Amino acid sequence: MSQAKRNQAEYIKESNVVLAQKGKTFFWAKFLLNQKHATQAVRLYRFCRHVDDVADDTEDQSVARQMLLQMIEELTAGRSAHPIISDAIALFHEAQINIHIPISLIEGVISDLALVRFKDETALMVYCYQVAGTVGLMMSKILDIKDKRAFAHAIDLGMAMQLTNICRDVAEDALMNRRYLPASLIGDVEPAALITPDGQTQDKIRSTLIKMLNDADAYYQSGHDGLCFLPIRARLGIVIASGLYRHIGTQLANKNYACWAFRSVVSKPLKVWLTLKILTQSLMNKSFYVHAKVHQQRLHHAIQEMAHLNG
């Protein structure tokens, strides 16, 4: 084995460790993918995780911003001395991923370094596209999807998961002085008020989360409507990952949306039970096999000006 292949094998091994530690839901679903798809998905996760970590773990936000801007420059140039960025460039070439898609992801993460106070649901959905819809689009490329009808559904599944993330992490994000809940829903509330909210703010949070999770359900449904475009093993992996994520919303509802009082976690025994349930339900669903529904354009109203929605 050449040194380059040994280095690549070690990088994949390290990336699997990162996924197992920080992306447990996706690590669980990864085993249903074939080796090529699983390896490329792990590499994509490593890149996305690195982008997030630079934004979240760099103490000086101006330094973080500069590092992210440098990533954009290196992606555009097609070369980097950083092993994660260098591997990502190779991955994007292998999977024929338009470089502007990961750049849009980085731009969304850069916006986290500014004052995060979303004005309305349009701003929220643009952000969800940038940081998660793009990932769905890149995953569809990694999974060798050729039918362009699949891309809109892939974007929607990513956006659904991001909406779920935001609802789960309200208090955690507030501790970082970020409020992703749009003012048009919750009012002009400062993040500090979301950490230990008073009764009135609790009611606002609940009504906002109910609306956002209902919206997320529409995006999950659209994502599932596009499952038929995936290879069968990938179809199973994606439906499980999305189903486990979607259950976070169910847990929030079961706790009366008190996101400030607990953090929703899907335990391993629950994952096993949900996996069996999700597989059973999916295998009996027509949309798992055929594209029975045309994509609902209203779901992309907020992001219709974004480039590369068709891959």
Position 16 pLDDT exceeds 70 = no
**Residue ranges covered by each domain of the chain:** 3-300
Confidence label for 3 from pLDDT (cuts 50, 70 and 90):
low
Confidence label for 26 from pLDDT (cuts 50, 70 and 90):
low
Confidence label for 310 from pLDDT (cuts 50, 70 and 90):
low
Give 226-283 pLDDT, tens digit per residue.
Answer: 999 998 888 888 898 899 999 999 999 999 999 999 888 888 898 889 989 988 888 8
Q: Mean pLDDT across the chain, nearest whole number?
A: 91
Tokens of 70: 């440098």
CA distance 48 to 123: 21
Superfamily, domain 3-300: Farnesyl Diphosphate Synthase (1.10.600.10)
Other C-beta atoms lying within 10 Å of the C-beta of residue 180: 24
Beta bridge partners of 117: 179
Position 5 pLDDT exceeds 80 = no
CA distance 26 to 23: 6
The residue written with tokens 């919206």 in the block is 215
CA distances in angstroms from 232 to 67, 75, 300, listed in the order given: 39, 32, 27
Q: For the whole prediction, is pTM greater than 0.85?
A: yes
Position 188 pLDDT exceeds 90 = yes
Give 286-306 pLDDT, tens digit per residue.
Answer: 878 888 788 999 999 999 877
Q: What is the pLDDT of residue 285?
A: 82
Give 126-178 pLDDT, tens digit per residue.
Answer: 999 999 999 999 999 999 998 999 999 999 999 999 999 999 999 999 999 99
Other C-beta atoms lying within 10 Å of the C-beta of residue 100: 15
Beta bridge partners of 116: 178
Give 90-130 pLDDT, tens digit per residue.
Answer: 999 999 999 999 999 999 999 999 999 999 999 999 999 99
Confidence label for 27 from pLDDT (cuts 50, 70 and 90):
low
Three-state secondary-structure class, residue 182? coil
Confidence label for 18 from pLDDT (cuts 50, 70 and 90):
confident
